[in-house]
């Protein structure tokens, strides 16, 4: 039983409907075209440094100082800002080849670099079957539609609202309001589902939020909670 009627659900992308591939796979896929190979110990150490420095689609970077702070805070407002921010962050990881940061950045874009959670498609299908409208609302600086097409998820999505297209990043109320306008619903009758406190910024427009910490790629992510809240 829902606490109030839900006509629409807004989903975050990374860590909510899909997860980025395991970091070792990402490193190997980026390094191979450059003719670079690393043994297991080298790969593990490099991945640890990259996760600290800032992996696109991964956890927030650590120990930001100086210009990195502002660059990271505004990274999702344009393609150029996103690329520049992440390449600068990854160069902090003491990479063995100067080409690798760009290769790692580019390796996040192919749809196969993303893995849907096991319960994403069933939950999206159930929402559609019950007339609940769905939007993907993401802080991102590139078009995610090909990724959703590749994984067969677009059929259940009514709208895509991306920060770089609306010039606003979560938790700004502007991006949540834009999604509701796109769907034709009142914020109070929608639900925001994400994995960070930025997603919970939806409460500023009187929209309830459900925050589910990110799960490993391909796992069952607990999205059935969305159906319970929608009374499905």
Show pLDDT as tens, one digit a residue, over the chain (232 residues): 345 789 999 999 999 999 999 999 999 999 999 999 999 999 999 999 999 999 998 889 999 999 999 999 999 999 999 999 999 999 999 999 999 999 999 999 999 999 999 999 999 999 999 999 999 999 999 999 999 999 999 999 999 999 999 999 999 999 999 999 999 999 999 999 999 999 999 999 999 999 999 999 999 999 999 999 999 9
Cα–Cα distance for residue pair 177/161, rounded to 1 Å? 10
In total, the chain counts a number of residues equal to: 232
How many Å separate Cα 198 from the centre of its chain?
A: 12
pLDDT at residue 3 in the model: 58
Cα–Cα distance for residue pair 201/171, rounded to 1 Å? 4
pLDDT at residue 172 in the model: 97
Cα–Cα distance for residue pair 134/9, rounded to 1 Å? 5
pLDDT at residue 58 in the model: 86
Q: Domain 8-17+117-229: give its CATH code.
A: 3.40.50.1000
pLDDT at residue 5 in the model: 87
Closest CA to 11 of 232, 152, 221, 151: 221
Count of CB atoms situated within 10 Å of the CB of 59? 11
pLDDT at residue 1 in the model: 39
In this prediction the pTM is 0.93
Tokens found for residue 134: 């769905």
Return the domain boundaries, the chain: 8-17+117-229, 21-112
Closest CA to 208 of 5, 1, 19: 5
- Cα radius of gyration rounded to whole Å, the chain: 18
Q: ∠88-111-216 over CA atoms, to 5°?
A: 80
Q: ∠11-113-76 over CA atoms, to 5°?
A: 55
Contact yes or no for 201/173 (Cβ under 8 A):
yes
């Amino acid at each position: 039983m829902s606490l109030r009627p839900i006509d629409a659900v807004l989903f975050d992308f990374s860590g909510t409907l899909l997860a980025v591939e395991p970091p070792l796979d990402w490193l190997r896929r980026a390094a191979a075209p450059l003719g670079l190979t690393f043994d297991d110990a080298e790969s593990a150490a490099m991945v640890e440094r990259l996760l600290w420095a800032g992996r696109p689609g991964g956890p927030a970077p650590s120990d930001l100082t100086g210009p990195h702070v502002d660059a990271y805070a505004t990274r999702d407002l344009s393609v150029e800002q996103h690329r520049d921010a992440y390449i600068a962050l990854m160069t902090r990881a003491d990479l063995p080849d100067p080409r690798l940061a760009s290769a790692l950045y580019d390796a996040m874009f192919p749809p196969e670099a993303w893995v849907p959670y096991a319960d994403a498609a069933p939950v999206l299908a159930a929402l559609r079957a019950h007339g609940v409208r769905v939007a993907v609302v993401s802080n991102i600086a590139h078009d995610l539609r090909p990724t959703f097409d590749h994984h067969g998820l677009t059929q259940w999505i009514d709208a895509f609202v991306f920060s770089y297209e609306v010039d606003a990043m979560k938790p700004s109320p502007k991006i949540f309001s834009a999604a509701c306008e796109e769907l034709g619903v009142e914020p109070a009758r929608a639900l925001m589902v994400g994995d960070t406190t930025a997603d919970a910024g939806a409460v500023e427009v009187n929209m309830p939020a459900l925050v589910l910490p990110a799960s490993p790629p391909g796992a069952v992510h607990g999205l059935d909670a969305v159906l319970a809240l929608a009374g499905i």
